[in-house]
Amino acid sequence: MDNKIRLYNDIDLLSFNSEDDRLNIEGYACHYGVPNLNNEIVFKESYNTFFDAYNQKKVVPILNFDHDNNRQIGSIDDISSDSTGLYVKAHINKNIPWCRDWLIPNIEMGDIKSYSTEMIVIGGYDGIKRNDDGTYVVLNGLLTAVAVVQHPADYRSEFTVKNFLESLPKIDNTPKSKWFLF
C-alpha cells in the first residue's frame, strides 16, 4: 500500500508561455496551521529539513498528475515558504499529448484547480504529533512530489496519517529517527 500524506490547495495563477510550450501554474500547495479534510496540519517548521536539502539542490520534488508517478506532467520551477504556506511555481509540458489535449484545457476552464503535496515524514512516530482533537501535526517532512489533482482531500481517503499510524505495529521499541513513507 502506498501511504503518503496528501495536502490539497487551489492553484492560484495561470499563464501560458507559447515560446516554451508550457502552462505555468503557481499557488499555495499547502496552508500552514490549517487542518485539511484528513485532519493533517503542517507548519513552516515542518519543512525545515526539506528546505535544507532543496536549497542545496539535493532534492527536487516531481510534478505529477493525481499522485501517479508514471504521469509526470512537467516540472517544479520554484518552491518557497512564507507565513501563509508552501508556495509552488511549476509548469505543465504542452508537448505531452495528454496534457495538451485534456489536462491543460481542463485547468484553463477551472475544472482542475488543486495542488496536493506528498512527503516522507522523518522520524516515524517522532515525526508526527497527535492532538487530542483528532488532528495530526507533521513535525518533520521531506517534500517528494507536488501533484495537480482532480479531487480535494476526502476524510475517508486511505492516504492519511491516521490510517498509517493505525497500521503500525503496537510495540514499545519502535526504532527512533527512522524514515517512514506515508
Total domains in the fold of the chain: 1
Indicate whether 69 belongs to any domain: yes
Give residue 82's domain range: 7-181
Indicate whether 1 belongs to any domain: no
Burial class (CB in 10 A: 0-12, 13-18, 19+), 144: middle
Indicate whether 24 belongs to any domain: yes
Indicate whether 59 belongs to any domain: yes
Per-position pLDDT tens, the chain of length 182: 345 555 555 566 655 555 568 888 888 888 889 888 778 898 999 999 999 999 999 998 999 999 888 899 999 999 999 998 888 888 889 999 999 999 988 888 878 888 888 888 888 778 889 999 989 899 999 999 988 888 744 332 222 334 444 544 544 444 443 333 33
Under 8 Å between Cβ of 59 and 50: yes
pTM for this entry: 0.75
